[in-house]
Structure 1
């Protein structure tokens, strides 16, 4: 079985995040799952046959077909024994990902589409995979092709699909939460204060935030703080204690412990290796 995969670096774009992409030439009867993911994955079949199970529905698929795995839903797929499939895949998430998938006429209940007009989807995924260097430049390049890929998906979808007010509100709530965190990460911010600011319950905020971004609000707060701490640590005029205070930690020990947990290095070691 031949397989290659390209994963994203740490670059995060709130609207749309590239996770990974790859290509697999499956062996006879190869299967994956049942498993749930925290992001969307689109598999595009180049050749061969197989089956995809989503909930209680079973789909027999072949070249030109594609299937979407939605976040937090159990999925299972298996290559045909006599003619195993060869497919490409791309994984992504973000605040606008559910809206994009909906606009393309796709969902947990309708996870299949077919396209055999040209090699657009194949070329797009292979182009994403061609950017292998870990840098902001390559992350942005991959993301640009992901936007083109999803734009095409919407273009070929039935034109009757519309976004409900409910879904638009969810997007607005999550974007408001992210914006608030990005501006106030250095303060005494909590999930409760975040929910109060937006005007929704804590439980509802946690649910829609996790569905949109694949992480809880508190995880996003900590991640934002650590990303900014990495930036501040490159400024040698700031002490570790001052960096801790700048990202919302009054206790340097607590900050250092959290930094090592998230980044994998203690602040002083990170500083010595990032000038």
Structure 2
């Protein structure tokens, strides 16, 4: 896929950004997924997150073989498509159709933070055309890009979980939701938005048990990592990382109470790779082991 090749900016500098995430599914996997009744309609082939992507740029004189969605959550960049060039700043969403010449890149003074994915499938072109019609062009302006960035993050999470039919289907669902959100926004002014802390909490609740770095979470809501950490501590009494641990512990209690899964499976479902570490953390928080919690008398 296109993003699997090394990206080079206009001055020949290789891309690579501290904290970045990028997934590219193998071509053979994509070809098989396109024959599936669900992922054949909308398939994500590449996805990523580039924070403060200084000197980032792509130029495709013949276009890309997939459609591309770009979401800017901070800084500024530019895009050129169909003979027009426009600025993309925080809240800018660009949908580039497949096989059409285009170029884009980060501004030098204040480089953008970008969430993106490439997609194809039987319904992909219709979704792109509908989004362009709703927005009146290639770019949609969102007052609050955090919910859309959250959906792109969910696409990345799904692909990171393994290239199974289930994970590719989850990625397709999140991508469809993201594009539908762009279509629904159109040219209308969005309604009242949540504050940055509320948006961050919403994302963490929606993506439990997946972990989101403080840097990535802060970029979604337009804050620095230190500003977001201060908000969490001032209003919730915990750091963003501890808040995520608490959410995973809540999920673990739900599974211990409502399922017969082995403790190791509960740990995995709650987002803990190491069952022993999970058991220690659970005991520290609850004062009893997971097994003791499951076997406690009813009503306690």
Q: After TM superposition, give the deviation of residue 21 of structure 1 in Å.
A: 1.0
Instruction: Render the CA deviation track for 1:154-205: whole Å, top value 9, x for unaligned.
Output: 221259xxxxxxxxxxxxxxxxxxxxxxxxxxxxxxxxxxxxxxxxxxxxxx
Match for 1:45 among 72, 77, 88?
72
Which residue of 1 is the match for residue 173 of structure 2? 144
Tell whether 2:22 aligns with 1:5: yes
Secondary structure of 2:155's match?
helix
Which residue of 2 is the match for residue 25 of structure 1? 51
Q: Judging changes above 3 Å, is the alpha-carbon distance between structure 1 residues 93 and 154 closer, same or farther for their aligned structure 2 residues? A: same
Which residue of 2 is the match for residue 127 of structure 1? 154
CA distance in 1, matches of 2:137, 2:184: 17
Counting only pairs closer than 5 Å after superposition, residues 11-90 of structure 1 correspond to structure 2 as 11-12=33-34, 13-35=39-61, 36-90=63-117
Q: Judging changes above 3 Å, is the alpha-carbon distance between structure 1 residues 103 and 56 closer, same or farther for their aligned structure 2 residues? A: closer
Which residue of 2 is the match for residue 100 of structure 1? 127
CA distance in 2, matches of 1:126, 1:102: 24
Contact kept in structure 1, 2:53 and 2:113, CA below 8 Å:
no
What is the aligned length? 159
Q: After TM superposition, give the deviation of residue 32 of structure 1 in Å.
A: 1.3
Contact kept in structure 1, 2:75 and 2:111, CA below 8 Å:
yes
Q: Judging changes above 3 Å, is the alpha-carbon distance between structure 1 residues 118 and 47 closer, same or farther for their aligned structure 2 residues? A: closer
CA distance in 1, matches of 2:145, 2:67: 23
TM-score, normalisation: structure 1: 0.53
Contact kept in structure 2, 1:105 and 1:158, CA below 8 Å:
no
CA distance in 2, matches of 1:48, 1:17: 29
Provide structure 1 residue ranges, at least 5 long, that are not aligned to the other structure.
Answer: 160-275
Which residue of 2 is the match for residue 209 of structure 1? none
> Moved runs in structure 1, 4+ residues, more than 3 A?
26-29
Q: After TM superposition, give the deviation of residue 30 of structure 1 in Å.
A: 2.7
Contact kept in structure 1, 2:90 and 2:145, CA below 8 Å:
no
Contact kept in structure 2, 1:52 and 1:75, CA below 8 Å:
yes
Counting only pairs closer than 5 Å after superposition, residues 204-243 of structure 1 correspond to structure 2 as none
Q: Judging changes above 3 Å, is the alpha-carbon distance between structure 1 residues 38 and 68 closer, same or farther for their aligned structure 2 residues? A: same
